[in-house]
Structure 1
């Protein structure tokens, strides 16, 4: 099936915000995500439970390192409100990992894949995230962690219009289409615009490259779950 993207009103002609520039750069990636059989399978209920189980386990592995990345962003954030917000997001990522593992694995009827090791794509994605937040600027790190916020929000918003006949998949869709999560994402996008407005052209270009790279990793993460990726040797 085809998932229609939500109607988006035209952006103002001037000025072009940094977030608008970032999103424009990944529109083909986002379109590929919406068309991926993992995502379409969530909506029509045909996604194999084994693929969803792989996703849940790998996402719990991912979120542990994502929380570490958010903690570094918190330490480098420009003001106290941003420090508190990112610190809260880091705590929330760990809580989400624990809740997701228990709720979704129970919904899958057990924990057959509970002990599955970190898969290649998960390892590559989290390694890139941590290297960027530790080795780059605040804007670099912000751009690297942003796709996990923003793409999930946009996917959740798009899928919420269709929902799913499967109650487990409906619950996943509702979590990311929820207004509470959408508000968090708007806050991070607004911070990205503020940080981008203060950066040089070269700094914005480097941040955009990180944003595009981790957006591609988002597609790869869903694709790895669809293929139930394991280490080849």
Structure 2
């Protein structure tokens, strides 16, 4: 029997976010098991590795803010436009405030971090992110930026009960386990479900592929900091 266009366009029977999270289950488990993350909790992570992370995260967040601004421009409602624009501003504020404080505690400065080169994984991740948000649909862009929201929230939530004997790492964990941040992430996940429900199966499949890719980049980002990655040539 032929499937009508209206039937083919029906949304999924369960929230799209469930399908997305299920698709990255092994990646999320690998993130929690990574020595960078376990080192945050037990305090054994070398400060040089955390410093690498802070520097690269500063570079990353500048382009992430641009990606969020593009999501704002493509958003379907005025409320969504305002919310993504606010998130873009907050991403820059985080780079300026939290990372400046971390660099100070590590014996450096925000100005120093800005002068250090963008590492290969950071460059690859932000290039993919911006290309997807620029060239894809709103759902594609939403799926591409979502792992940075969602994985950080889940990691922060998982680590909050454990905290860390290192005050620097405890401060980082508290920032992402904070209820205010969790509320922001729930808003974006709910928007993803609404947008996914109004999309075709093909559109959701494309968006899911972007989500899986940027989730893998999240693991790679922490791994690059653990290895203190630099350009080989």
Q: Same fold by TM-score, threshold 0.5 exceeded? A: yes
Larger Rg: 2
Corresponding residue number in structure 2 for 1:97? 95
**2:13, 2:162 → 1: CA distance?**
34
Cα deviation digits, residues 134-180 of structure 1 (max 9, x gap): 00000000000000000000000000010000000000000000000
Cα deviation digits, residues 154-209 of structure 1 (max 9, x gap): 00000001000000000000000000000000000000000000000000000000
SS in 2 for 1:231: coil
The CA RMSD measured in Å over matched residues stands at 1.2
Moved over 6 A (4+): none
Query: Which of 17, 20, 30 is the equivalent residue of 1:19?
Result: 17
Cα deviation digits, residues 70-115 of structure 1 (max 9, x gap): 0000000000000000000000000000012210011112249623
Corresponding residue number in structure 2 for 1:87? 85
The answer as to 2:149 corresponding to 1:149 is: yes
**Conserved 8 A contact 1:56-1:100:** no
Corresponding residue number in structure 1 for 2:66? 68
**1:63, 1:92 → 2: CA distance?**
10
Corresponding residue number in structure 2 for 1:173? 173
Corresponding residue number in structure 1 for 2:209? 209
**2:69, 2:107 → 1: CA distance?**
34
User: Gapped runs of 5+ residues in structure 2?
Assistant: 1-11
Task: Give the alignment's TM-score, normalised by structure 2.
Answer: 0.93
Task: Give the alignment's TM-score, normalised by structure 1.
Answer: 0.93
